Structure formats: C-alpha cells, structure tokens
Amino acid sequence: MIVLGIETSCDETAAAIVTDAREIRADVVLSQLDDHTPYGGVVPEIAARAHLQHLDGLIRRAMAESGLGFADIDAVAATGGPGLIGGVIVGVMTAKAIAAARGLPFVAVNHLEGHALTARLTDDVPFPYLLLLVSGGHCQLLVVEGVGQYRRLGTTIDDAVGEAFDKTAKLLGLGYPGGPLLEKAAALATNPGRFDLPRPMVGRPGCDFSFSGLKTAVRRHVEELGTPLSAEDQADLAAAFQATVAEVMADRCARAMRRFKETHPQGGALVVAGGVAANKTLRARLQKLADREAMPFVAPPLRLCTDNAAMIAWAGIERFRLGQTDSLDFAPRPRWPLDPTAKPAIGKAGVGSGVKA
C-alpha cells in the first residue's frame, strides 16, 4: 500500500510518499520561515498563500523523488485539522482534487494523530503506549490505545510548551523560531546553574502542565539584567529555562507512567512526539526517566518530530488499513481534539483542542 501525504496546517508545506512496509519513499518539507520571520511569528494569511503557491510543486518533487507515478498511489491523505484554517483548506482541497481525478480514496488526518503515530512508522511501537505530545500548540499526556483511540491524562492549563519556548526566546532576544534558537543558546551556557527558576506543577497531583509562571520568572530576570542581554546572560537563562522544562516534563511523565502501569499492567513504551520532542535536553531527561521506570523510550528522529508529511501519509495508511476513509464532503476542522471526551483544562478553555498543533 502506497499513500501520498500532504501537510499544510501551519508554516511548513510538505508532501511525502510512504508505504505500509514503513518505508518513506519521499519526504519533502518547505519551511516558510523566511516569510514569517519579519513578523516574529506565523501570519496565517501569509501561510495560506505560501501553501497555495508551493504545494503543487512539492507534490511533483515528492513523486519524482519516489520514482513512482500517480498510478502507483493507493490513497491520498491530507491534514484535515487542527491548524490554521486557510492552510488546511489548501491541503485538503488539493488532496480531494487528486483523489477525485484519480478515483482514489481520501483520508483526512488529524495532525495530532500524525505526530502521535509517528513512533509506529519509525520504530513499529505496538499499542498501547504512553504519549507525551509536545508542540507549538499542544502539551498533552495521552494513552494511545489504538488508531483513533486516545485517553488524555493531562494537558496544559495555560501555554503549550512550544509556545513557552517561543515566547521565552523572544524575551531573551533570541528571535524566531524560538525552540531551536533557545536550544542553541543554552548549549553555550558557561554557568547553567546560575538562575533558579520555579518548576510549575512539580509535585502536584495529576498530569497537567503550566508554563506561564515560568515565563514570568524569566521576564523578571530579563528586566533585572536589562536589555539587550549579553550573550552570556542569554545562554545561562536559556539553559535554566530548558533544564526546568525538562524537569517539569519528567515529573508529569512519572505520574502518567504510574497511572499507565495501573491501567495497563501488560506495559508499553513512553513515546515523545511533536516539535519540542526535537529538544535534546528533553529527550535525554525522558530517556533517564524511562530507564528508571523500566519502560522502553521512543523518540522519533528530529526531522520527523517537527511538522512533516511522512507522518500524515503514515496516519493515512493506519486509517486506510482499518477502512477509515473520508468522503469528499469532509470539512476542514480548525479544532480537533484527540480525546473528545476530555474536559477543557481549568484556566484556559479549549487548550486541549487548540488551533495549532
């Protein structure tokens, strides 16, 4: 089975071709970074226009790289949400057009499910598993029981963790996109233990997250130090922020692991996914925790953590194999929670179903 996947939900335009033998035949991603950098963040209207401009060329490139023709494709999958709606519409309409023209099945993929199932593409991880989903719009702990079967154990009550990285990077004067720049700055720290930041939620019952207090603490330090910060201050603060986030994550995951083990005595892996999963300090901290808890730990390769279309093609394969295709009437969904039964977190309604994934 060979599936063409399309991703257009945020600021990456991407197309990929993946087989049910877990083979990535092509995987092309075009970052719109240069289009958005002057504005310090993603501008939805610019993103939608850029997807429109580049998507057909990227699909052509993916087809050429794979050495396949449209006659070899068995289904077309596109991100159907959640995300910036203009971009999602571009991807969905393109996929529907190809499906209609070629008489192929169409699968509308939940972008979050794309992240969630990536570890099955890369490492063949069996269900069930415990998933830490950390991206620009989400920060959730979920039990993944199967395709389309998610139980949320925790979510953020304010900012998503990627958002916290991005905002903190801005406060430090590091620019956009915050996550990778902050990680780079932290690597240059000469005194990573210099700042002691609060660890929101650590030790509290439950598996929820909070990051706004941490961000405020960084802001106070920045104000005390005075802007622009020296490179040394930037690096030390970045290192403190990153280490604190990793500690918070480890604490929340440890609690989720306990709950997972109670409900799933047969065991399962700890999996991390989403853009923030590219962070090496976080990966190392989670590996240490998983070793302590005797749970396998799976983190996809860095390029499959950040947004890509291989994960959308793969989720399309998983759904298609189960006969779960969508009609050409499918309407793009700006919001699309993985666990629709989970209540909105206290503090910020709708966080679990946010607009960015």
User: Segment near Zn ion (CB under 5 A), from 90-98, 133-141, 236-244, 321-329?
Assistant: 133-141
91 in contact with ligand KG4 (CB under 6 A) = no
* Angle in degrees, 0-180, between the axes of helices 231-263 and 212-225, rounded to the nearest 10: 170
279 in contact with ligand KG4 (CB under 6 A) = yes
113 binds, among ligand KG4, Zn ion, none (CB under 5 to 8 A by kind): none
Total length of the chain: 357
Pairing of strands 24-31, 149-155: unpaired
Distances (CA, A) of 205 to 202, 253, 322: 9, 12, 37
137 binds, among Zn ion, ligand KG4, none (CB under 5 to 8 A by kind): ligand KG4
246 φ, ψ (degrees, to nearest 5)? -60, -40
332 in contact with ligand KG4 (CB under 6 A) = no
Q: Radius of gyration (Cα) for the chain, nearest Å?
A: 20
276 in contact with ligand KG4 (CB under 6 A) = yes
Among 152, 221, 252, 356, binds ligand KG4 (CB under 6 A): 356
Q: Could you check whether the bond before residue 180 is cis, i.e. omega within 30 degrees of 0?
A: no
307 in contact with Zn ion (CB under 5 A) = yes
User: Segment near ligand KG4 (CB under 6 A), from 89-97, 102-110, 188-196, 268-276?
Assistant: 268-276
- Which of 131, 357 has the CB closer to Zn ion? 357
Q: What is the DSSP letter of 153?
A: E
Q: Among all chains, which residue has been given the structure tokens 């194999």?
A: 321
User: Segment near ligand KG4 (CB under 6 A), from 31-39, 70-78, 275-283, 335-343?
Assistant: 275-283
Residues 58-87 as x/- pattern, contact with ligand KG4 by CB under 6 A: ------------------------------
User: Segment near ligand KG4 (CB under 6 A), from 13-21, 135-143, 222-230, 319-327?
Assistant: 135-143
Return d(Cα 193, Cα 141) in angstroms, integer: 28
- Which of 90, 98 has the CB closer to ligand KG4? 90
Return d(Cα 138, Cα 276) in angstroms, integer: 10
**DSSP-assigned beta bridge partners for residue 26:** 17
Residues 159-188 as x/- pattern, contact with ligand KG4 by CB under 6 A: ---x--xx----------xxxx--x-----
User: Segment near ligand KG4 (CB under 6 A), from 19-27, 158-166, 217-225, 338-346?
Assistant: 158-166
Minimum distance of ligand KG4 from residue 178's CB (angstroms)? 5
Q: Which two tokens stand for residue 153?
A: 């154990």
Minimum distance of ligand KG4 from residue 220's CB (angstroms)? 22
Minimum distance of Zn ion from residue 349's CB (angstroms)? 21
Minimum distance of ligand KG4 from residue 122's CB (angstroms)? 15
Half-sphere exposure of 48 (CA within 13 A, CB side): 12
189 in contact with ligand KG4 (CB under 6 A) = no
Whether the CB-CB separation of 115 and 311 falls below 8 Å is answered with: yes
Minimum distance of ligand KG4 from residue 243's CB (angstroms)? 13
117 in contact with Zn ion (CB under 5 A) = no
* Angle in degrees, 0-180, between the axes of helices 161-171 and 231-263, rounded to the nearest 10: 170
Is 81 in a helix, a strand, or coil? strand
Whether the CB-CB separation of 65 and 94 falls below 8 Å is answered with: no
User: Among residues 132, 216, 244, 222, which one has the least CA distance to residue 173?
Assistant: 222
Amino acid at 310: A
Summarize as ranges the residues that interact with ligand KG4 (CB under 6 A).
10, 135-137, 162, 165-166, 177-180, 183, 274-276, 278-279, 306-307, 356-357
